[in-house]
Chains A and B, each alone.
Chain A
Amino acid sequence: MNVLEMKDVRYRYEGTDKDVLKGISIEFKAGKVYTIVGKSGSGKSTILSLIAGLDTCSQGEILHGGSDLKKIDRDSYRARDIGVIFQSFNLLTNATAIENIVLSMNISKNPEKDKKAFAYALLGKLGIDSETAGRRILKLSGGEQQRVGIARAIANNPDIIIADEPTGNLDSVTESAILDIFTSLAHVEGKCVVIATHSKEVTAVADQVLGISEGVMTSTAATA
């Protein structure tokens, strides 16, 4: 079942006449891990920002549950239907780890009654203890921030989780742990996980690898 579908999507930055994406069509299904690979500037991050609802395509359409993202409330879509893990984490630095997650749950109107307890439990699952969870973001290591970013992305139980170079700043041990989380989210919890990466290790855990070059899909390959 398609949870997300890109149909002949084109994108060009304002004030330019060159398409960054040139007719991209991809179907994303639940319970699978997708990796998008390609050189820097090939359009990977642009695809992620479009399916994250952070930007809108110039042509074509991106459908979520059959609805074009251009026509729905994208604030609500970002808050509830999709979780984004940014390469540079993009956490609120003046807040603690726990506050970042609780705020995200508040924004999405998460019905959980004890949001704080839920957030502590979630971070605990990701290997962040309660003492670390009470620290401000800038007091955390890169790996801890990445885990907080993941916790924030999944706190509202979205259908789709996207991650932009999620292991770029991590050591190999932490990278492995993070990849286990992603595969578990897809294969155990049935989420659709989309990861843009240069990393072979990440690509190795993907159910399907999407190659992109200069805004055009060059290959789609299912891994064994």
Chain B
Amino acid sequence: MYILGNALRNLIRNKGRNILMAAIIFAIIATTVVALIINNTSDAVIASYSERFASEVSITPDMQKLREEALAAAGSAEGRLQMIRPEISPELMLEFTKSEALRESVAYASLGANSDEIIAIDQAEETETQAETGGRLPDMAIFGSTSAGNFKVQGDYWQDFIDGNRALDDDGISAMPAMDGECLVSGDLAEANAIAVGDILAFSSVFTIPIPGDMDTENFADGVIVEINETEYTLSVRQDGMFTASRSVDYDLKVTGIYIDLTDEYSNSFTQGNSSQNRRNEILTTLGTLLDLRKADETGINLSVTYYLKNPDFLGQFEAEVRAMGLDDIFLVSTDSASYEKIVRPVEGLKSISITFMIVVIILGASILLLLSSISIRERKYEIGVLRAMGMKKSKVALGLWTEILVITAICLILGIGAGVAAAQPITDSLLQVQIEAEQDDASGQAVFQGAGSGAGQGGGRFGGIIRNPESSANVQPLSEMKVTVGLDTILEIVLIAFGLASAAGLFSISKITKYEPIKILMERN
């Protein structure tokens, strides 16, 4: 304890020497804080965009190849170019999730459904309107590859709960579905139909299947039952005269809870009044529930899978694995690295500057500190000699000197972190602007538009009959601003650097002085 007291007294009574030392340490800390904040924030931004663009996989048709194949076939079609967009089966999409290259994959599905037991919100009004116009009722209408109904049954779609848009009712009995065959319903729907937790709701939907090309169509007529893949389907005639084979599927779902939806009923005004688009009509269940009744090759369920690589370097491995699983050569497997590059390049430039700056400051600062410390210790040779002559051990002399420099460093840390944090944002803005201008000079003539935080990764790698085209890198612009943040990691790093530097400088000098016998120090003095 007396070592600390002695150190503090020395600090107070030798202001000139210690203020000079403190000024140097303060300058090192403040500049290193700025550099570290920029560096760490840049890292976080790059990691975030890497996650969005370079880790989220897009599986898209090779349009060039499709066009070439269509052109080759065009000779026998009187010059008409017919390009059929290829699809990936849901089975294969789910198979891809087993790839070792993936960090995670998110799969969810939806289907349209109707119920004879409950009425969807806006259903009556819609039915009336449709009846007045003599149009078809919306139930079981085939909408793309998915049947549209008054209800939308969602399988494993919990993102709204994560985002805070939906929450489980705090009625004390509501619980998330724990197994297949269980579901949640909205509070509005439950109220309108007096649905209670524990009720079993019956829904029906329609699955369709392509009619095999080799099937005998001679007896085909509206309403005829045919067997495909050992399952019976009912034929119906479409407006273009072609036949569709479909079957009705029934789901009995047990209500385990009520959810509260905090968003608007409709996502936009165009779907207003359409019960199938009303978010309160969404029945939330598990993915397994939806897929369980589906047979191979059937459509009717809209499956969406998003694949996230462990890191962007795993793209090659992922492609090799999905090719081996059966992905056709017509599909391209890619990440949106071009957009990623374009957005984060200025940030990488900024990071590079900050690292260089930090290294220079640390090396320069360490050298000055070493020199100052060495001079300071030489000045104190006599004091050290006296302490040693009094019987103080070398280790305690060193501890005392070290304590002094650590106390100075601790004070400078508090001041330096404050100053560095205050200066970090304006410096970042200024440096980033310089980087952006440099990038724009390099890429003059290229179209740019808002890009930062646009969520451009949404929908990457989603399927279910819809294959996403990758966003063009021309449609993104470099990150124009970066909000710096001071995390605990930054504070810990600066503390380590500061105390490391101070200790190194102190211990270097201490090691020089303590190797002498006290008599030599005192004789030199005398």
Contact = CB atoms under 8 A, between A and B. Distances in A.
Interface of A: 49, 52, 54-55, 75-80, 84, 86-88, 90-95, 99, 103-104, 106-108, 152
B391 A75 contact: yes
Contacts of B391: 75-80, 107-108
A90 B386 contact: yes
B392 A88 contact: no
Nearest to A14: B520
Given A55-B519, A75-B391, A107-B390, A90 B385 contact: yes
Given A86-B522, A88-B526, A103 B6 contact: yes
Contacts of A90: 385-386, 389, 522, 525
B393 interface: yes
B51 interface: no
Interface of B: 2, 6, 9-10, 13-14, 383, 385-394, 396, 517-519, 522, 525-526
Q: Return the 10 tightest CB-CB contacts between A and B, nearest first.
A: A79-B391, A78-B391, A54-B519, A106-B2, A55-B519, A94-B13, A107-B392, A75-B393, A49-B519, A90-B386
B393 A84 contact: no
A170 B383 CA distance: 24
B392 A75 contact: yes
A136 to B, nearest CB: 8
A45 B391 CA distance: 19
Interface centre among A52, A79, A92 (most CB of B within 10 A): A92
A108 B14 CA distance: 26
Contacts of A86: 389, 522
Given A95-B9, A107-B392, A54 B522 contact: yes
Contacts of A54: 389, 517-519, 522
A90 B518 CA distance: 11
10 contacts: A52-B389, A54-B522, A75-B394, A76-B391, A79-B392, A93-B383, A103-B2, A103-B6, A106-B2, A108-B391
B140 to A, nearest CB: 93
A54 B519 CA distance: 5
Nearest to A102: B2
B390 A78 contact: yes
Contacts of B390: 78-79, 103-104, 107, 152
Contacts of B383: 92-94
A26 B159 CA distance: 93
A91 B2 contact: no
A86 B6 CA distance: 22
B377 to A, nearest CB: 15
A87 to B, nearest CB: 7
Contacts of A88: 525-526
A84 B9 CA distance: 25
A223 to B, nearest CB: 30
B246 to A, nearest CB: 95
Contacts of B522: 54, 86, 90
Contacts of B396: 107
A91 B386 contact: yes
A52 B6 CA distance: 25
Contacts of A84: 389
A106 B525 CA distance: 25
A188 to B, nearest CB: 25
Contacts of A55: 517, 519
A133 to B, nearest CB: 16
B389 to A, nearest CB: 6
Contacts of B517: 54-55
Contacts of B393: 75
Contacts of A77: 391
Contacts of A93: 383
Interface centre among A54, A78, A108 (most CB of B within 10 A): A54
Contacts of B518: 54
Contacts of A94: 9-10, 13-14, 383
A99 B393 CA distance: 18
A86 B517 CA distance: 16
A187 B232 CA distance: 125
A88 B386 CA distance: 11
Nearest to A46: B519
Contacts of A78: 389-391
Contacts of B392: 75, 79, 107
Contacts of B386: 90-92
Given A54-B518, A55-B517, 19 more contacts: A52-B389, A55-B519, A79-B390, A79-B391, A79-B392, A86-B389, A87-B526, A88-B525, A90-B385, A90-B386, A90-B389, A90-B525, A93-B383, A99-B9, A103-B2, A103-B390, A107-B390, A107-B391, A108-B391
